[in-house]
Chains A and B, each alone.
Chain A
Amino acid sequence: MSAARDAEIGRLWRSRPRSRFARASVVAMLGLVAWAWIGGGLVPSELLSARRLANLERFLGEVTPYPLQGRTFDLGVALRWAGDLLVERGLAAAATTLAISVAAIVLAAIVGAVLGAPAARTIASPEPWLPDPRRPAAPVAFAWRGLVTGSRAVMIFLRAIPEYLWAFLFLAMLGPTAWPAVLALGLHNAGILGKLGAEAAENASRREPQALRGLGASRAQVVAIGLLPMTLPRLLLYFFYRWETCVREATVLGMLGIVSLGYWIQDARARNHYDEMVFLILLGAAIVLIGDVVSAVARRVVRRAS
């Protein structure tokens, strides 16, 4: 019994995926982490200094809703306080946060489609679907390759810049409307959705596009009739995954001055009203949860339909 077990363990251990590069990578990662903790100037024990603990105690006292501070707990008072805060600004800011995330992800899908299609080699090459005996003219092949590389480079740049930074730059240019938040989230996610979409198009089965092409369909027709319906479920899954992150980020972008939840969080922080600040952060968490649930339901519908 135990011999068989040991043999089985030994067999599995020997058949594990192995690679020198992977091993070196793990060592490098461990080294990086050790260096960060030892040589990076991080002193965790400093968090427990007397000054910080006093600060923490004061903070915990101020987190209690203002009308309840220094009094016995009264649920009615607490609820009235929370209700006033919601009506005054919480609900409107929450709706704005959701609206920003929706507008941004729709923009990201549109821009991502425009950038992602020419980045897929199965769409953007001289003859992507049929074996073509004639070699394409060098300038033609070069132009297609340039299109692929160019759109990929644009997408890398869009997603390498954090959305918070994009918003900061747009805010300086456009002033405090909702546009900076929508553009920032939209462009960053266009880079991500475009990349994922291009990969999905490259990994899709070639049979249907080939058959359509063989019947004489144009490039646009093959993409619209053959490729798009096949990759659509996957694209929709990515769309909803990224929308979840958009909801999170839309909350935070308000801290730059756009009137989403983050704006009021920052405002409460500036006035040292920590009770309001924590309440609004929790409201933000609730919105993120709502977004997650809606997204999960939508993804299930998409999965079942495909």
Chain B
Amino acid sequence: MGDERPLPIGARGAVILAIVAAGAAAVPWLGLTPGSLVPSDGGLTLVGEFLVRAASPALTSEADPVPEGTPPLLWRALAAARTTVVFAAAAMSLALVLGLVLGFASSSAWWADDLRGRGRLRRVVAPVLTWSSRTLMVLMRSVHELLWAVLFLAALGRSPTTAVIAIAIPYGGTLAKVFSEMIDEAPRDAAHALRSSGASPAAVFVFGLLPRALPDMIAYSLYRFECALRSAAILGFFGFPTLGYYLKLSFENLHYGEVWTYLYTLFALIVVVDWWSGALRRRFLA
């Protein structure tokens, strides 16, 4: 290692130096002084009260008096969890469709010479389709789901479906990018064997290429489902009845016990999905 280095710092060292320099420049620009990190007296008691309640999340509503007709707290938490799961699952189903279609269209393996015959049509169609789908993916991905939600709120007004679409667009773009990379990086031995035995391009793809990439794709999709749960919860800050909505409300009413109840509910949802994807990975990818 490092026998003939032209400089005392290698490329890796230069990258790390750049990171440190960027970090050092960001601190004064943002005015990050240690003094502004100390919470005010009011802030400090608030931190204390909030953290203390971590050990004792509320089991019943903390409003006093409880407004008439409010369902019990745990029921509210469950209903919010249900909406969160509904939004996340529906958004992931749309995102998967978008991701599969765009991911296949933009994967270079699908168009590779050694996996498909040569044809004049393909020479023209392949680059156009590849690059248009890649551009679309970038556009979908580079706008955050909350900003998609803000756009849809302004354009169409609030509706559960807009929340689902707002999550599905950037997630579809991300899935497409990752799927196309996974397909391109999958081992091609089986695909070549099929191709040389005269199978059609579609059969090469479905039976040769896809099964090799599938375990990774499923594991990644489950991870994104976990992210979708978080995104769906946060959309509640914009008035959708997911966990974030109730969480914000309770926090603003200083009902910290309730905040922790909702936090632990979200935590439980994520732990379940995390366990699920872990178990699947162990059995499936072994």
Contacts and interface: CB of A to CB of B under 8 A. Distances in A.
A79 interface: no
B147 A103 contact: no
Contacts of A138: none
Contacts of B127: none
B211 A17 contact: yes
Nearest to A269: B150
B30 A25 contact: no
Nearest to B160: A42
Identify whether the interface residues of A are mostly helix, strand, loop, or mixed: helix
Identify whether the interface residues of B are mostly helix, strand, loop, or mixed: helix
A52 B152 CA distance: 11
B147 A41 contact: no
A198 interface: no
Given A102-B26, A165-B244, A173-B43, A32 B89 contact: yes
A102 B19 CA distance: 8
B86 A36 contact: yes
A47 B159 contact: yes
Contact of A102 (B22, B44, B90): B22
Contacts of B58: none
A172 interface: yes
A156 B22 CA distance: 28
Interface in A248-279: 248-249, 251-252, 255, 262, 265-266, 269, 274, 277-278
B101 interface: no
Given A182-B30, A236-B15, A13 B234 contact: no
Given A4-B197, A32-B89, A162-B233, A56 B138 contact: no
A104 B2 CA distance: 32
B139 interface: yes
Interface stretch (B63-71, B111-119, B180-188, B266-274): B266-274
B126 interface: no
A174 B197 contact: no
B37 A179 contact: yes
Contacts of B122: none
B112 to A, nearest CB: 18
A305 B279 contact: no
A161 B19 CA distance: 26
B78 interface: no
Contacts of B99: none
Given A1-B197, A37-B93, A96-B30, A46 B159 contact: yes
A-B residue pairs, 10 tightest by C-beta: A40-B86, A106-B23, A305-B11, A178-B30, A36-B89, A99-B26, A285-B142, A103-B26, A288-B142, A33-B93
Interface of A: 1-2, 4-5, 8-9, 12-13, 16-17, 19, 21-22, 25-26, 32-33, 35-37, 39-44, 46-47, 51-52, 55-56, 59-60, 95-96, 98-100, 102-103, 106, 156-157, 160-162, 164-165, 168-169, 172-175, 177-179, 182, 232-233, 236, 239, 248-249, 251-252, 255, 262, 265-266, 269, 274, 277-278, 281, 284-286, 288-289, 292, 298, 301-302, 304-306
5 contacts: A1-B197, A8-B197, A40-B160, A160-B271, A284-B143
Given A251-B147, A252-B144, 8 more contacts: A21-B279, A96-B29, A103-B27, A160-B266, A174-B43, A178-B31, A252-B146, A298-B15
Interface of B: 10-12, 14-16, 18-20, 22-23, 25-27, 29-32, 36-37, 39-40, 43-44, 46-47, 50, 82-83, 85-87, 89-90, 92-93, 138-139, 141-144, 146-147, 150-151, 154-157, 159-162, 164, 190, 193-194, 197-199, 203, 207-208, 211, 214-215, 218, 230-231, 233-234, 237, 244, 247-248, 251, 263, 266-267, 270-271, 276, 279-280, 283-284
